[in-house]
């Protein structure tokens, strides 16, 4: 499996709600870094950290989905550029924006992910 195929598989597992499948693609010390300005911001380590992240993320968003994603590989990183849509749970505000996620790959596993939203202020107003 190529690095891009690995990230596509990760996204596919998450899209169908197969967290165990998604987690099987991660190293034990996987790190997710979210912007600290977000309601679900911070650093999440390993499966327990991701479970905590998903709990916060799910409370913030309704109907969150990735509409379109393009993938690029350079050195040990895959960059996923996505159009995203969702509804903020507390305000019912509909959000459409773009984001880039930088994934670091080691061997056949994902060791880190760091999303960059094009407009974090849009998510916190």
CA-wise closest residue to 78 among 31, 36, 112: 112
Mean pLDDT of the region 22-49: 94
DSSP 51-107: HHHHHHHHHHEEEEEEEEEEEEEETTEEEEEEEEEEEETTT--EEEEEEEEEEEEET
* pLDDT (0 to 100) of residue 16: 92
With 90 as the cut, is the pLDDT of residue 33 above it? Answer: yes
Residue 117: the pLDDT is 82
Predicted TM-score (pTM) above 0.85: yes
3-state SS string for 29-58: EEEEEECCCCCCCEEEEHHHHHHHHHHHHH
């Amino acid at each position: 499996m190529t690095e891009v195929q690995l990230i596509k598989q990760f996204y596919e597992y998450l899209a169908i709600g197969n967290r165990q499948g998604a987690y099987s693609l991660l190293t034990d010390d996987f790190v997710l870094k979210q912007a600290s300005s977000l309601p679900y911001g911070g650093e999440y380590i390993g499966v327990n950290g991701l479970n905590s992240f998903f709990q916060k993320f799910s409370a913030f968003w309704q109907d969150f989905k990735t509409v379109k994603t393009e993938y690029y590989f350079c050195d040990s990183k895959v960059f996923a550029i996505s159009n995203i849509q969702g509804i903020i749970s507390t305000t019912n505000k509909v959000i459409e924006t773009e984001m880039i996620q930088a994934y670091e790959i080691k061997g056949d596993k994902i060791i880190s992910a760091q999303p960059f939203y094009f407009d974090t202020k849009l998510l916190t107003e």
